Amino acid sequence: MEDQQEQSSGDPHAVVVDITSFAQAMEQELAERHQHHGDGSVPCTPTIAMVHDLTRNVDEQEYDPHYVSIGPYHRKTTRKDIIREDDKLTSLYTILSRSSPGTTVQKYIDGLAPLEGRARSFYAHRFSEMNSFVFLRMLLLDACYLLHCFVNFNPQNSSSAANEQVMMSSPAPEAGDANIVREHGSPAANGHAHAQGGDQETSTASAAGGGNKLEDGWVVRDVLYLAENQIPYFVIDKIHNLAFSGSQDPQPPVKTIAQYISSILQKQQYSMVELDDDAPPPGNLLHLLHMHFPEPKYAASPPRIGETVGRCRTAMEYHINGVNFKCCTISAIGKARCILDLTLDRASGTLVVPRLNIDANTWCILRNLMALEQLNPALGCHVTAYCSFMSQLACTTADVELLSRRGVIEHRLGNNGEVAALFSNLCKGIEFDPDDPGINYLRATCQALDELYRSRPRRWMALLVQKYSKNPWLAVGVMAGAFGLLCAIVQAVYSVLSYFQGAAK
């Protein structure tokens, strides 16, 4: 090493590298990465990460929380009102007061501490600026907030030390004024999983939103629909188990939250899928939402290998060339169980599409489900495939008008042009190969539609129908002319037959 340094000292352009220090630094970095990823160096899935800039830049508001920040990505936001420290501390207080006797904040921290590495492994970023205390505190408060929102805690123990335990959870560097816990008396009752329709959404979120319907809707949007605004589900489950240790809990939180998600999706007619009791646990709450949109399994003919799909046609292009559109309602036992279940009747040339009810949250749900699939290819790309198809099918005002008349699209926005613009921008920045049969479940349907589109007899027949169906009197005249022509042909045939019969005699 000394010889190397002496030789290098004579060269003004030489760079001296301390190999030993460099190797030690690399080993330390690998050790820290291994520690943050728990049992291995590969992050757990589904990974929670920031949405790619190319996708986010289309509409950032669809990915940012509006009411409450969950997880580490938005905890440093300039909007201090979405941190909701007071609400989260109140949730911790409520859960402590309703937990099994002897449950303390220390018990929660002791239970979470061994799981820190596993929890960090679910994030694409390392968050090295967050020490263990700050990271565990964030997980505890966020998990309690989510449990308070969506899981019914039956009163079991009103601990007089609960307020003191909450204050112990708030360190000076991070808490600010949040270490002052206000007395709220008896906390608002949480929602029950079996409530029906809109009442369930209001009652469930009332614990966090204060009973204001607008705020309740924001809570649901922020904690269920956003890809970045998540914590690992197992943390929620761990806090729930610690709270109910030694007591009989009616059902795990994943079942309660899944039932609540199902009620929202059924009300909007997005999905009728009910998760099985033996379904694998979700990675986070958005993943749980994604599980209600399974990839359709069709018995139709498989896609033709070697034939590309390219860009699908618009609804009007298909319509002009003889393809019909028909809406269907989803049902738990029918062919269409969620909005992804499109089917094509080749005999009649009819594309059957589940009705898509569009409201203020539709684009947020679809965009974030696509972001989840983009970040986690192992989950599949069926929502992305559906969005890609619909964004091409309904990208103009005329397309939306046609699909609205057929009942395929139902919207409450200003006009059809606004809906068309939103559809056309839905998949901007999304990476998706429609020719890959492994990720595009609609590939065979697109190929069949293209075959119908290119059929000349079907195109001619469609043009005739569209041309003469606009004027009923013209259609009657055409039918009368066709009937007269047919009669003339029959008369000519009979005349010829009579001639030959007379000649034969």
Instruction: Render each residue's pLDDT in the chain as its tens digit; 505 residues.
Output: 444 444 445 555 555 556 767 677 777 666 655 554 444 444 567 999 999 998 999 999 999 999 999 999 998 877 878 989 999 999 999 999 888 788 889 999 999 999 999 999 999 998 989 999 999 999 999 999 999 998 865 433 333 333 433 433 444 334 333 332 333 333 333 333 333 334 444 445 555 555 577 888 899 999 999 999 999 999 999 999 888 876 655 578 888 899 999 999 999 999 999 998 888 999 999 999 999 999 987 645 566 666 777 778 999 999 888 889 999 989 877 788 999 999 998 888 899 999 999 998 999 999 999 999 999 999 999 999 999 999 999 999 999 999 999 999 999 888 999 999 999 999 998 999 888 888 899 998 998 898 887 765 655 455 555 555 555 655 566 667 777 788 888 888 878 777 777 666 6
Q: Report the C-alpha gap between 457 and 323 in whole angstroms.
A: 12
Decide if 338 contacts 332 (C-beta within 8 A). no
Q: Which of 218, 216, 92, 98 is closest to 165 using CA atoms?
A: 92
Q: What is the pLDDT of residue 203?
A: 47
Decide if 430 contacts 384 (C-beta within 8 A). yes
User: Quick one: 187 exposed, middle or buried, by C-beta within 10 A (0-12, 13-18, 19+)?
Assistant: middle
For residue 54, CA distances in Å to 94, 157, 246, 352, 445 come to: 41, 50, 49, 33, 29
- Six-digit token pair at 124? 């694409």
Euclidean distance between the first and the last CA atom of the chain, given in angstroms as a whole number: 125
Q: What is the pLDDT of residue 297?
A: 79
- Six-digit token pair at 275? 């998760």
- Number of Cβ atoms within 10 Å of the Cβ of 197: 11
Q: What is the pLDDT of residue 9?
A: 52
Q: What is the pLDDT of residue 29?
A: 61
Find the angle CA(69)-CA(75)-CA(76) to the nearest 5 degrees: 135
Q: Report the C-alpha gap between 405 and 411 in whole angstroms.
A: 12
Q: What is the pLDDT of residue 306?
A: 63
- Regarding beta strands 324-328 and 350-354, do their DSSP bridges make them parallel or antiparallel, or are they unpaired? parallel
DSSP 211: T
DSSP 309: -
Find the angle CA(3)-CA(8)-CA(13) to the nearest 5 degrees: 175
H-only helix segments in 126-232: 132-150, 162-168, 172-175, 197-209, 213-220
Decide if 203 contacts 226 (C-beta within 8 A). no
Q: What is the pLDDT of residue 10?
A: 56
